[in-house]
Structure 1
Amino acid sequence: MIRLIGLGLIGGAAFLAYRRFAQPRNSNAAYAPDQPHESYMDVRDAGPQAMRDEPQREWTETDEDLDESFPASDPPGGY
């Protein structure tokens, strides 16, 4: 009887852990408030004005080129 109760407690704890960690998470932390972020497929506009946090240094033309090329796999050609 004690084993059955222990097994039930372990099963309940496993179920709660599964429910806690298996839920989809909204990972749109980098989006500015005015950027679309209802879906994980949304892509924000390029540039520092579309970022949630201010850049830590001056935004350069190379930074802009790199940001505009995302999510493409090829690097920008204007460097």
Structure 2
Amino acid sequence: MALFKLALAGATGFALYQYYKHNQQQDSGPAAFASGEATPGFAPVRNAGPEAMASDLPRWDKVDEEVDESFPASDPPPMGKR
């Protein structure tokens, strides 16, 4: 009987954990995305620009913008004439 009670307590704990984990995933999107910026699907994508980011940036220049717009491309943006 004690083994049955232990199994029941474990199953209840696991069910509560799964319920909590499921609710946490629905409420919060990816950490770097501003609210409403995540696209649905396997790999969420964020729009480019500082307004789509969750954190406020102290500064945002042209290079930051080009790098953000090029992601996830394999080549970085050009850095000017050499």
- TM-score bracket for this pair, using the shorter chain length: 0.5 to 0.7
Runs of 4+ in structure 1 over 4 Å off: none
Do 2:38 and 2:45's aligned partners in 1 also have CA atoms closer than 8 Å? Answer: yes
Identity of counterpart residues, as a percentage? Answer: 28
CA separation of 1:62 and 1:13: change in aligned 2, threshold 3 A: same
Measure how far apart 1:42 and its partner are: 4.2
Structure 2 equivalent of residue 69 of structure 1: 70
Structure 2 segments unaligned to the other structure (5+ residues): none
What whole-Å deviation, never above 9, does each CA across 1:2-33 have from its counterpart, x for those lacking one? 22112111121122212322x272424522x5
**1:47 aligned onto 2:49:** yes
For 1:68, what is the secondary structure of its paired residue?
A: helix
TM-score between both structures, scaled by the size of structure 1: 0.63
Measure how far apart 1:52 and its partner are: 3.9
For 1:27, what is the secondary structure of its paired residue?
A: coil
Do 2:37 and 2:46's aligned partners in 1 also have CA atoms closer than 8 Å? Answer: yes
**CA RMSD across the alignment:** 2.7
For 2:40, what is the secondary structure of its paired residue?
A: coil
Do 1:65 and 1:78's aligned partners in 2 also have CA atoms closer than 8 Å? Answer: no
